[in-house]
Amino acid sequence: MTAELPELDPVIHAQARLRVVASLNTLAEGDEMSFPALKDLLGMTAGNLSVHLSKLEEAGYVHITKTHKGRTPVTYVALTRRGRLAFDDYTRAIRALLDTAGGTP
């Protein structure tokens, strides 16, 4: 009898989005990171990060806040509760997948 392999969330599974979600997950719930800080942390271009954040936002995994500091526009990104739960599910699925692979000769 073969164990059923866990499903991996395709939204998170893309390498760049996994890096975004993993980075934001290190923040306390309710905390946010500025777009430039996240871009620099991940070593991504603004355009590339923006595309991946849009996918994550469509899935309800991140919340993006656009505001101003004085006259300068500022964008903040935060992982939503749904995003945290999805990341937890994803990491559990990866662990289960690795455990299954480790038991096969």
pLDDT at 5: 74
Helix, strand or coil, per DSSP, at residue 68: strand
| Residue pLDDT, tens place only, 51-66 | 999 999 999 999 999 9
For 4, phi then psi, to 5°, come to -75, 130
Mean pLDDT of 3-16: 88
Taking the domains of the chain in order of start, what are their residue ranges?
Answer: 10-100
CATH topology for 10-100 is: Arc Repressor Mutant, subunit A (1.10.10)
pLDDT at 103: 59
pLDDT at 6: 79
Helix, strand or coil, per DSSP, at residue 72: strand
Mean pLDDT of 62-90: 96
Under the banding of pLDDT at 50, 70 and 90, the label for residue 99 is confident
**Strand (E) or helix (H) holding 55:** helix 46-58
